[in-house]
Amino acid sequence: MLVYDNIFKNDEEIRAFIHEAEEKYKNQVLKIADALVEIDHIKFLTLAGPTCSGKTTTSYILEHEFEKRGMTVKIISIDDFYRDRSDISDDEMPDYESISAIDFPIFEDCVNKILNGETAMLPIFDFKEGCRTKFVPYTPSEHEIVIFEGIQAIYPEILATLPKDISKSIYISVDDDVLAYGSYFEKREVRFYRRLLRDYLFRNALPTRTLDLWVGVVENEDKNIIPNGKNADYIINSFLAYELCVIKPYLLNVISYDMDNTREKSLYETILEEFKNIPMIPSHFVPMDSVFREFIGK
């Protein structure tokens, strides 16, 4: 468990605190990049983890680091292989967590074409429309690494389509329970607060919506994601020690809570109590290339 109660006397101490947390995270990514460039036959890399672990930003950092080392990279989101929302569910809560949400024939066809050096037609999924909107052609170069990124990228069904001798896997999550300024935060709770903010800012979802989905998210994590993550070749902890200080004003002042809604009122009161002793750090201190920008925006 991570324990901290830093008191900041000035901006320089805040910057140092954030810099230390960023370096701890990025050094994990750099070590993986260094290790992978030594394996000259790798073709596929999967990057997976439970919701709001920082997969997308980490994939771009890996891409940048590989390119610095003279390698070319193609990032492909597993999310783009989702079946249409109407095929996944007949209600307002489609199941995007399970493997059945993936259009597997299209995924397998793309993998086979990439393996053969042929042009693959990659789907593009629009979450607002709830459906695939188009296909774009992709022709792999001879020594290019393809990164498949998404929660399902660690599922056995996905990994089974990728030849083991030319594939490696990365699992990313928040891997610390935290005791901060006298309040205890379980590692999954940290990701819940990330998701609460992300859904509100970028997916037009009120807290009730996130709460409604969370039960299913947790069930799927316990069944399909966390157990399989233990078998990954590399593991990244994306927790940033400063993030609770930065997310506090968002949770209390930015997200709109309906105080007539019992669940939302209870959630707000829980946040108010847990964060009462945590000092606030303005978001402008957070680097623009930070993984935490996935949840607070640029």
For the chain, give the mean pLDDT. Answer: 92
Reported as a single tens digit per residue, the pLDDT across 105-156 is 999 999 999 999 999 999 999 877 888 899 999 999 888 999 999 988 998 9
When pLDDT is averaged across residues 162-174 and rounded to a whole number, the result is: 95
**Most confidently predicted of 94-98, 125-129, 248-252:** 248-252
Q: How many domains does the chain have?
A: 1
For 259, the 3-state DSSP assignment is: coil
pLDDT of 90 over the 60 cut: no
pLDDT of 93 over the 90 cut: no
Quick one: pLDDT at residue 197?
A: 96
Full domain range(s) for residue 27: 2-296
Report the C-alpha dihedral over residues 118, 123, 124, 125, rounded to 10 degrees: -160
In this structure, of 81-85, 96-100, 255-259, 268-272, the range with the lowest mean pLDDT score is 96-100
Phi, psi angle pair for 147, to nearest 5°: -100, 115
When pLDDT is averaged across residues 62-86 and rounded to a whole number, the result is: 90
Question: Which string of b and e fits 5-27 if b means at least 16 CB within 10 Å?
Answer: eeeeeeeeebeebbeebbeebbe
For 77, the 3-state DSSP assignment is: strand
Reported as a single tens digit per residue, the pLDDT across 22-61 is 999 999 999 999 999 888 789 999 999 999 999 999 999 9
Per-residue pLDDT band at 4 (split at 50, 70, 90)? confident
When pLDDT is averaged across residues 233-260 and rounded to a whole number, the result is: 96
Per-residue pLDDT band at 89 (split at 50, 70, 90)? low
When pLDDT is averaged across residues 248-256 and rounded to a whole number, the result is: 95
Query: Do residues 292 and 241 touch, judged by C-beta distance below 8 A?
Result: no
pLDDT of 265 over the 60 cut: yes
Residues of the chain with pLDDT > 70, as a percent, come to: 97
Distance CA 187, CA 239 (A): 9
CATH of the domain at 166: 3.40.50.300
When pLDDT is averaged across residues 162-169 and rounded to a whole number, the result is: 94
